[in-house]
Amino acid sequence: MPKIKYLTIHCAATPEGRDNSADEVRRWDIARFKQPSYHWVIELDGDMHRHLQDSQRGAHVARANTGNIGICYVGGTETLNAGGKPKDTRTEAQKRSMRTLVRTYMERYPGIIVRGHRDWPGVAKACPSFDVQDWLDAGMPDKEL
């Protein structure tokens, strides 16, 4: 098994409130990359769905997938009428589930580096539509401060 060094948080870039399922996200990724992209997908209600084992390589950060756990939440953009602009659309349930996963991985793999997709060199997108480091520094709250 490759050494796990990173955990990268993503959004599905779906409109706020649209209840896409984890299975839909998985199908989109298989159609595009011939495999699931993420280890976990978090639905609007906070349900967490595992798509890859930690030992399996995802397809979520170009040239940096080995040893990198991918977590994706459904959402990440404003409504379609707003042009699909990036927006932190995480529900409180999604934030709680994300916090649970991040804490679990921090305990399982001490020293793991947690970042947003946009924090990787060469990434020119807003994903995951929030500042992961600010969220971590604030204690991973599930409510607005």
| Length of the chain measured in residues | 145
**Res. 82 pLDDT band, cuts 50 70 90:** low
Say what the pTM is: 0.95
Do 61 and 36 meet the contact criterion of CB atoms below 8 Å apart? no
Which whole number is the average pLDDT over 73-101?
Answer: 90
Tell whether the model's pLDDT for residue 9 goes beyond 60. yes
Residue-by-residue DSSP string for 34-47: SS---SEEE-TT--
Domains of the chain: 6-137 (3.40.80.10)
Give the per-residue pLDDT at 91.
96
Residue-by-residue DSSP string for 70-96: EEEES-EE--GGGTS-B-----HHHHH
In terms of DSSP bridges, do strands 40-42 and 48-50 run parallel, antiparallel, or are they unpaired? antiparallel
**Res. 84 pLDDT band, cuts 50 70 90:** confident
The Cα–Cα gap between 107 and 89 comes to 27
Give the per-residue pLDDT at 1.
66
